[in-house]
Copies of this chain bind each other. A is one copy, B any other.
C-alpha cells in the first residue's frame, strides 16, 4: 500500500497551497455600518477629517490660560474671573483672555484663548457658591496647569488623511466605532468566499434519512458548512456523490465553476481517497500539490489547485475532516478574502497527563478544559479526550485542540500548554 510516499509537514503543505492562490481582488459589496461586524474591509479607510476636529476637555473644570495658573497652590491660589459656561455641543460664544476662565464639562469645546482645563476639585468659587456662574464671580485655582493639560488636541485620535484601517481588516466592534466617529456609515467589504462542499461514500446518507444497517449520516457537510460560515465564507452544498469517478468528477467540475473553493470529503477507504486525487488531477492544472500530510488526524488530506482555485480533499472521518478544515480550509478562505491575520484564540492550561507523540509528526488532540482555581500559572486544566477519529462526539466534548509539534516526542503531565479554542 504505497499510498503516502512523501508526507509533507502541515506548515509546509499549507504554505505551498496558499502560494498558488491570490486574493479575489475584484469582488466586493457595499454594506451599512450597522451590519458590517465580522466583514472584511475591501479598501483602505482614510480619515476625511481629524478626530476630534475641535479641542475637547477630558474633565469637568475650568478652561484657563495655563500661564495664569503658574505657581498656584493651596496656600497661594490664583484668582480668575469666571466669564461663562461652555455649552455642550456648541461653540462657546466668548474667548478667554488673561485673568479669565470659563466653566467647562467633559467633552466640551475649549474656548479660543484657553489652552488647559483645571479640574473642579482643584478650584473653589469665592462668591455665590452653588449658584449659576455669573460674570462677577471669581474662581480660586489651587494647582498649576500645564499647557494642554486635560485637553484632547485636534487630530489627537486621528489626523486628516491618515490611513486608519487597512484593507483586509476584519471589522470588530472597535473598528465599527472608529468608522462611526468618522461618519463612514456605508463601506465596501469583500464578498464572502463561496465554498462548495461535496461528500462521497456509498455508505453516507443525508441526516434527514434513517440509516439502514451499514449506512451512516453525512456529518462532514454540516460541520464544514458551519466552519465555513464561522470563517467568513458561504457554504454551497453539492450533496452526497456516489463513489464513482465520473459522478464525482462531474459534481466537482460543477462546484469548481460555481465556487471559489471546493472541498471533497472522501469516503474513508483508500480506494475512494485515491479517486479524489484522480478527480482533482482531472479538473485542471496544477492539480494535486500535496497528497498526504504528516499530521494526526488528517494524514490522507489532499491539497490541490485547479485553474487557480483550491480543491481540497479531506478524510471522510468526521474528526479528521473538521480538524483539517481548521488547519487548511479557514486559511484558504482568509487568503482569498485578503484577511489581515490576527492571533488565533487560545487558552492557557495545565495538561493533566502525559501525551506521547511520534517525532516528526504534528498531532492535534481534542482536550476538555476545566477551571482550575488552584494554579496561578494557568486558569484551566486540559484533559485529552481519547477516541478514534471517527467519533464526532470526542470533538463536540472538547473545548479546543492541543498541538504537539513535529519536533516533540510528547508532552508531560503538568506542562502549561496553549490550547487552540474550537
- The interface of chain A, by Cβ under 8 A from chain B, is 1, 33-34, 36-38, 51-54, 56, 58, 60, 87-92, 105-109, 120-121, 152, 156-158, 164-165, 171-185, 201-205, 207-227, 229-230, 243, 267-271, 316, 318, 322, 325, 342-348, 369, 379-380, 387-388, 390-396, 398-400, 418-419, 421-422
A201 touches B88 (CB 8 A): yes
B218 touches A421 (CB 8 A): no
B51 touches A393 (CB 8 A): yes
Nearest B residue to A175 via CB reads B396
A5 to chain B, nearest CB (A): 15
Question: CA of A209 to CA of B181 in the docked complex: distance in angstroms?
Answer: 11
B393 touches A223 (CB 8 A): no
Contacts of A107 in B (CB 8 A): 201, 203, 216, 267-269, 316, 390
A400 to chain B, nearest CB (A): 8
Q: Which among B269, B347, B398 is the interface contact of A344 at CB below 8 angstroms?
A: B347
Nearest B residue to A56 via CB reads B390
A88 touches B243 (CB 8 A): yes
Question: CA of A89 to CA of B379 in the docked complex: distance in angstroms?
Answer: 46
Q: Which among B182, B318, B390 is the interface contact of A152 at CB below 8 angstroms?
A: B390
Contacts of A395 in B (CB 8 A): 174, 177
B421 touches A345 (CB 8 A): yes
A416 to chain B, nearest CB (A): 9
Nearest B residue to A1 via CB reads B121
B203 touches A89 (CB 8 A): yes
Contacts of A87 in B (CB 8 A): 202, 214
In the complex, besides A37-B226, A89-B205, A185-B208, 10 extra interface pairs with C-beta distance below 8 angstroms are A1-B121, A33-B207, A108-B203, A156-B387, A164-B393, A173-B322, A177-B226, A180-B207, A180-B222, A343-B399
**Most chain B C-beta atoms within 10 Å of own C-beta, residue among A204, A224, A348, A400:** A348
A371 to chain B, nearest CB (A): 8
Nearest B residue to A47 via CB reads B393
Question: CA of A208 to CA of B152 in the docked complex: distance in angstroms?
Answer: 23
Contacts of A51 in B (CB 8 A): 391, 393
Contacts of A392 in B (CB 8 A): 157, 174, 177-178, 181
A150 to chain B, nearest CB (A): 9
Contacts of A38 in B (CB 8 A): 230
A88 touches B267 (CB 8 A): yes
A213 touches B347 (CB 8 A): no
Question: CA of A106 to CA of B268 in the docked complex: distance in angstroms?
Answer: 5
Nearest B residue to A169 via CB reads B396
Contacts of A182 in B (CB 8 A): 217
Question: CA of A204 to CA of B269 in the docked complex: distance in angstroms?
Answer: 64
A46 to chain B, nearest CB (A): 13
A121 to chain B, nearest CB (A): 6
A285 to chain B, nearest CB (A): 31
**Most chain B C-beta atoms within 10 Å of own C-beta, residue among A53, A87, A105:** A105
Question: CA of A107 to CA of B379 in the docked complex: distance in angstroms?
Answer: 39
Q: Which among B181, B380, B418 is the interface contact of A219 at CB below 8 angstroms?
A: B181
B214 touches A421 (CB 8 A): no
Contacts of A348 in B (CB 8 A): 346, 348, 418
A296 to chain B, nearest CB (A): 14
A214-B91, A267-B107, A388-B152 as given contacts; A342 in contact with B181, CB under 8 Å: no
